[in-house]
Amino acid sequence: MKSYPALEIRGADTDRLFAAIDDLSATAIEEREDSVRVFFSTAFARDRAQTILTSDFDAAPLEVSDEDWARRSQADLQPVTVGRLTISPRLSVSPQLAPSVDIEPLAPSPGAQPLAPSPDVIVITPSMGFGTGHHATTRLCLAALQTLDLSHQSVLDVGTGSGVLAIAADRLGAARALGIDHDPDAVQAARENLALNPSARDVSFAVADLRTTPLARAGVVTANLTGALLIETATELVGAVAPGGTLIVSGLLAGERDDVVGALRRDENGGNDVPPTRIVWEFEDDGWVGLAVKKS
């Protein structure tokens, strides 16, 4: 059975820990009662992270079996509602029991649709693939997507994980959605999740690394990555947005916000005097930031 390399970190201040692991290619974070488990796609990445973290944190390596994690998560995870969407773990309770996450946009963009009272349900199997809706950054992206009119839009979801944002974009009316991830396991999980949502119309997933593969152009691009990766790939991400389109980013911590915005602006400017993009939505949740940037 497949198992996942992880670090069990005890007694850490979570803000400090999240900042420290930001650039260590972690694939998932599980906050437990008395520890934080940080998962990696390879034992090599885990061991490298341990070497780096060990001076500041009590970090012990472990292997977590997928079956244990998924089974426990199925029991533990409750549905999460963001606006008019509910992300429900497979085999879970009815959406009426979902705790509501109250995120309102600071500055709704023109053409934004009001949030309907009855949530639409998306089913996602809990697995190691990030994106069950329980992380603040996923919820921020889901909230940001709902400030846009997605009809007739193509959506590119960079770092799709469980596929939740691509499937959500379809549910919110996008003409088509493509999710890419450099982790083949994530793409496999995203495809399995898509099959659990048979009403999805035109959603596809592909294995691709944002650092090495040219991105397809889309009216809306979502990128829930890390602050460091957003800064590194700002040119590619802004370049993938069609004129008049919107880039939604999250995965950055509040302390990284200005650097990320600076990187997006640097690339927006392209040497011109007038920046051809502007921030149309911004929200912070639990120390994480979500931003929507509109390209002129």
Residue 8, token pair as written in the block: 């069990």
- List the one residue from 122, 128, 145, 164 that touches ligand SAH (CB under 6 A): 164
- Does residue 131 belong to the site contacting ligand SAH (CB under 6 A)? yes
- Min CB(273)–ligand SAH separation in Å: 32
- Does residue 13 belong to the site contacting ligand SAH (CB under 6 A)? no
190 alpha carbon, distance to own chain's centre: 13
- Does residue 224 belong to the site contacting ligand SAH (CB under 6 A)? yes
- Min CB(70)–ligand SAH separation in Å: 16
Residue 74, token pair as written in the block: 């199925």
- List the one residue from 38, 165, 230, 248 that touches ligand SAH (CB under 6 A): 165
User: What single-letter DSSP state applies at residue 151?
Assistant: B
Which helix H or strand E contains 87, and what residues bound it?
strand 85-89
Q: Which amino acid is at 256?
A: E
- Min CB(296)–ligand SAH separation in Å: 26
- Min CB(209)–ligand SAH separation in Å: 4
Q: Which stretch binds ligand SAH (CB under 6 A): 13-21, 91-99, 155-163, 239-247?
A: 155-163
Alpha-carbon gap, residue 20 to 59, rounded angstroms:
12
**Residue among 72 and 211 whose Cβ is closer to ligand SAH:** 211
Pairing of strands 218-224, 241-253: parallel
Q: Is the dihedral of CA 124, 127, 129, 133 positive or negative?
A: positive
**Residue among 83 and 131 whose Cβ is closer to ligand SAH:** 131
DSSP, residue by residue, 165-190: HHHHHHHTTBSEEEEEES-HHHHHHH
Q: Which amino acid is at 88?
A: S
Size of the site for ligand SAH (CB under 6 A): 22
- Min CB(46)–ligand SAH separation in Å: 15
Alpha-carbon gap, residue 179 to 194, rounded angstroms:
11
Please return the burial class of 16, using the count of CB atoms within 10 Å of its CB with bins 0-12, 13-18 and 19+: exposed
DSSP, residue by residue, 16-72: HHHHHHTTTTEEEEEE-SSEEEEEESSHHHHHHHHHHHTTTSEEEEEEEEHHHHHHH
- List the one residue from 40, 130, 205, 288 that touches ligand SAH (CB under 6 A): 130
Q: Which amino acid is at 177?
A: A
- Min CB(271)–ligand SAH separation in Å: 26
- List the one residue from 79, 89, 126, 159 that touches ligand SAH (CB under 6 A): 159
- Does residue 186 belong to the site contacting ligand SAH (CB under 6 A)? yes
**Residue among 180 and 261 whose Cβ is closer to ligand SAH:** 180
Q: Which stretch binds ligand SAH (CB under 6 A): 57-65, 86-94, 181-189, 279-287?
A: 181-189
- Min CB(175)–ligand SAH separation in Å: 20
- Does residue 160 belong to the site contacting ligand SAH (CB under 6 A)? yes
Which of 120, 104, 100, 101 minimizes the C-alpha distance to 112?
Answer: 104
- List the one residue from 22, 170, 181, 268 that touches ligand SAH (CB under 6 A): 181
Q: Which stretch binds ligand SAH (CB under 6 A): 144-152, 207-215, 256-264, 272-280?
A: 207-215
Query: Where does this chain bind ligand SAH (CB under 6 A)?
Result: 27, 130-131, 138, 141, 157, 159-161, 164-165, 180-183, 186, 209-211, 224-225, 229
